[in-house]
Amino acid sequence: MKFLLLTLITHVPDPITGTTESSRQRLRRVVDSAKLAEELGYDGFAVGERHEDPFISAAPPVVLSHIAAVTSRIALFTGVTTLSLLDPVRAFEDYSTLDNLSGGRLELIIGKGNGAAQAKLFHVTTDDQWDRNREGYELFRQLWESDSVTWSGRFRPSLTEAKALPRPLQPRLRIWHGSATSRESADYAALHGDPLFSANVTYAVDPYAELVEHYRERWAAYGHDPAEALVGAGTAGFLITENSQDAIDAYRPIFQARQASARKFNVPIVFETVEDFAARSSALIGSPQQVLDKLSRYHERLGHEVVHLNADGDGRTDKQHRESLELFQAEVAPELRRRIPSRPLGADRYPSGDPR
């Protein structure tokens, strides 16, 4: 199994102190988290894309380019790239540049997006976001893999023998399709032989397991080898300590702050107590053995090879967050890597050391 740290770059008051960092401080902390992830041996670091409160993650290629400059090994993910909102040509230019700067460490997770802000800022709605996402994906793929593209669609001007630059380092970029509940995304990933990344963060495991099962069924229906299907999954929270009760107690104010934020931004409330959240959600809160057991149970349902953990301290001190990440790497990750074989990520996909 492979392990990513993910941040959506939430910009909210600290749940313990009530203070709010400046945007500069928050973004610098993201870069520091990525450096720490590489130092501790995590496999990847992912930056989300949102265009509304309480997030400041509107420009993942900019953030990831900065991270690429201060790291050398770790795979760089988006989580997700909202292609429904982007001009595919401009998205190609950004990510092809990042691919070259990072030495082929880039992997995209794409999604159609949601939220009211995308309608106000981009004039993209729930009625057309899926069609825009699909069209954006198809053009993005063509631009990545061909020096000359002739194309026409609904949402941007047509292209005739167009060449987008710079040409990417990776001949074929791995593009994951992110989905919370959308079977269309899972079906579309299967159609193109792409991996699926299940959000796996809001509810208990059942709806996500059903989504992954649908993906695998469609994968086989489209004629792909079932053994080649690749799945990743998220987690809803992260705090690991030697003693399980210490983890619950430390996470309680974080959980309460998250509940308050969810109510403010009309996010569904599924788990009413931190104890229920730790027990039934995908959150990794507890002792190393509890976390190991939960990830193993989830793997039995999802069959995933990649999992993301929360990159942010969520109110803990830098020392406490580092200790949690170190404990995971020391006592949980080695056993899961041993039990669950997984395919390489980022530049490790290329044994020669050069995608070209």
Work out the pLDDT band at 267, boundaries 50, 70, 90: confident
Contact 90, 135 (CB under 8 A): no
Q: Between 15 and 228, where is the model more confident?
A: 228
- List, for residues 65-78, the tens digit of each pLDDT value: 999 999 999 999 99
Q: Give yes or no for residue 113 having a pLDDT over 90.
A: no
Determine the pLDDT at residue 268: 86
Work out the pLDDT band at 264, boundaries 50, 70, 90: confident
Determine the pLDDT at residue 17: 85
| Buried b or exposed e, range 9-22, using 16+ CB within 10 angstroms | bbbbebbeeeeeee
Determine the pLDDT at residue 214: 98
- φ/ψ of 21, rounded to 5, equals -70, 160
Work out the pLDDT band at 218, boundaries 50, 70, 90: very high
How would you classify the pairing of strands 196-198 and 149-151? Answer: unpaired
Work out the pLDDT band at 18, boundaries 50, 70, 90: confident
- Tally of CB atoms within 10 A around 69: 11
Residues 228, 196: Cα–Cα separation, whole Å? 12
Determine the pLDDT at residue 117: 84
Q: Determine the average pLDDT of the residues in 293-321.
A: 93
The domain ranges of the chain are 2-349
Q: Determine the average pLDDT of the residues in 5-29.
A: 93
Residues 79, 47: Cα–Cα separation, whole Å? 5
Token pair of 80 as six digits: 């997700």
Q: Determine the average pLDDT of the residues in 91-95.
A: 98
* Helices vs. strands in the chain: H and E counts, helices first: 12, 13
CATH code at 2-349: 3.20.20.30
Q: Give yes or no for residue 314 having a pLDDT over 80.
A: no
**Residue of 107, 87, 91 lying closest to 99 (CA atoms):** 107
- List, for residues 192-213, the tens digit of each pLDDT value: 999 999 999 999 999 999 999 9
**Residue of 181, 183, 174, 8 lying closest to 79 (CA atoms):** 8
Q: Determine the average pLDDT of the residues in 127-131.
A: 94
DSSP string, 141-186: HHHHH-SSEEE--SSS--EEEE--SSPPSSSS--EEEEESS-HHHH
- Tally of CB atoms within 10 A around 192: 13
Q: Give yes or no for residue 181 having a pLDDT over 90.
A: no
Q: Which amino acid is at 32?
A: D
Determine the pLDDT at residue 16: 80
Is pTM beyond 0.85? Reply is yes
Calculate the average pLDDT of the chain.
Answer: 95
Q: Give yes or no for residue 39 having a pLDDT over 80.
A: yes
Tell me the sheet residues that pair with 111: 82
* % of the chain beyond a pLDDT of 70: 100
* % of the chain beyond a pLDDT of 90: 88
Token pair of 327 as six digits: 């404990």
